[in-house]
Amino acid sequence: MSHKRIPKRRAAIAAGGVVALGAAAVLLPNANASQDGGSAGGTAAPRTLKAADASDLASQLAGLLGDAFAGSYYDAGEQQLVVNVVPGDNNQVIVEARKAGADVREVDNSMGELRGGARTLKSEASVPGTAWAIDPRTNKILVTADSTVTGAAWDRLESTVEGLGSGMATIRKSAGTFKTFASGGDAVFGGGARCSLGFNVTAGDGAPAFLTAGHCGVADDQWSDAQGGQPIATVDQAVFPGEGDFALVRYDDPATEAPSEVNLGDQTVPISRAAEATVGQQVFRMGSTTGLADGQVLGLDATVNYPEGTVTGLIQTDVCAEPGDSGGSLFTQDGLAIGLTSGGSGDCAVGGETFFQPVTTALEAVGATLGGDAPGAGEQAGGEQAGAEEGGGAGDAVGGGDQAGGGQAGDDAGAGAGDVGDGTGAGHENGSGSTG
């Protein structure tokens, strides 16, 4: 979808502009700073790593191990990367993975088998209210059904899971209902809908823009930073449902200042670059309805069957969210952009699960960059590659210059003009209230 209307108005919005709430407020400074740990000499003891460095190492080891690689996760307590492998003939690659600093464990299910199981679920059990993702900690597919999945739909899902074979998948019920969270870091408004801005970016032609949820982008073409206000940004590209939930929204004034930061209300978090999520990683979400919340990454490459359609390639977390938080920024305490709020079940009173669009995938799809990801900037954290040689580990420094933005745009594709209520979240100057 392409939108080219560019009215002129200057605006500058920082991501996640709401007062920080709850226990997650203890965000800064870097409480979990990496230690260089690791073993001296030729031993293969796992290295002590920051989560971002563990993610870089995991990506490299996935290529090194090939078919033996069966996923990985970050052990936050030990500050170590755990890499799953399936037993095979080439034990040398496992030795090299240990030398690189990973805690290597043998498992039964290969990534090929797990992905094959996920494809079977998609073809045979894609009913609204279901979701699944590969969980490397259990080496199984985690299947979740919300409260609407009953009767024949539940029987169909349960039968499909059983058909995958013993030890391939687990199934559990969620008390809530899977839905997109369209309603607002800094809030943005369009067509009666409200969303949150994720991260400021630079479009392929150098123009200032921001990322938000795709279901916000398909709700309306033009977005304002105040309810009923004049448009400040126009949707350029939006994907929802399908292979993701993301939108690129261009600021109408090319002179708009779009800082690379997440605004917590009483402080800002500079965003250095985009990064892949790692299972077990601690993450923070900012949204205009509920402010700041934190939790862990539970699964990657998740598939969610929303009422509007199926969305693939998402990040599954136990972070809470509510309507209006859609599009909001998911990031780490050391300033890495991880995701954009898509949807889930539950709320921030009882908890629940929330799914996020990976920022890296969205940037690649729309041809945009964050500051540190611009051409010529280092792709690796610290530029130091975690090698497969003895003592090799992920680089310790965080790459610089990524842009994170502010205003969030748009409500869900199914949200109507009457959805905007007064809300309960603390509002920033650009709007208070959530979608009901």
Q: Of 215, 252, 272, 334, which is the active-site residue?
A: 215
Phi, psi of 68 (to 5 degrees): -75, -20
Q: What is the rounded distance in angstroms from the CA atom of residue 31 to the CA atom of residue 79?
A: 13
Taking the C-alpha atoms of residue 427 and residue 348, their distance in angstroms, rounded to an integer, is: 16
Active-site option among 135, 186, 245, 412: 245
Sign of torsion over alpha carbons 314, 402, 260, 294: positive
Can you tell me whether residue 422 is helix, strand or coil? Answer: coil
Q: Return the CA Rg of the chain.
A: 21
Cβ–Cβ < 8 Å for 283, 277 = yes
User: What distance in Å separates the CA atoms of residue 247 and residue 217, rounded to the nearest whole number?
Assistant: 5
Which amino acid makes up residue 37?
G
C-alpha–C-alpha distance, residues 430 and 315, integer Å? 28
215 flagged as catalytic: yes
**240 neighbors 308 (Cβ within 8 angstroms):** yes
Q: Which of 34, 326, 345, 434 is catalytic?
A: 326
| Contact predicate 426/19, CB 8 Å | yes
Q: What token pair was written down for 103?
A: 């805690």
Where in the sequence numbering do the catalytic residues fall? Answer: 215, 245, 326
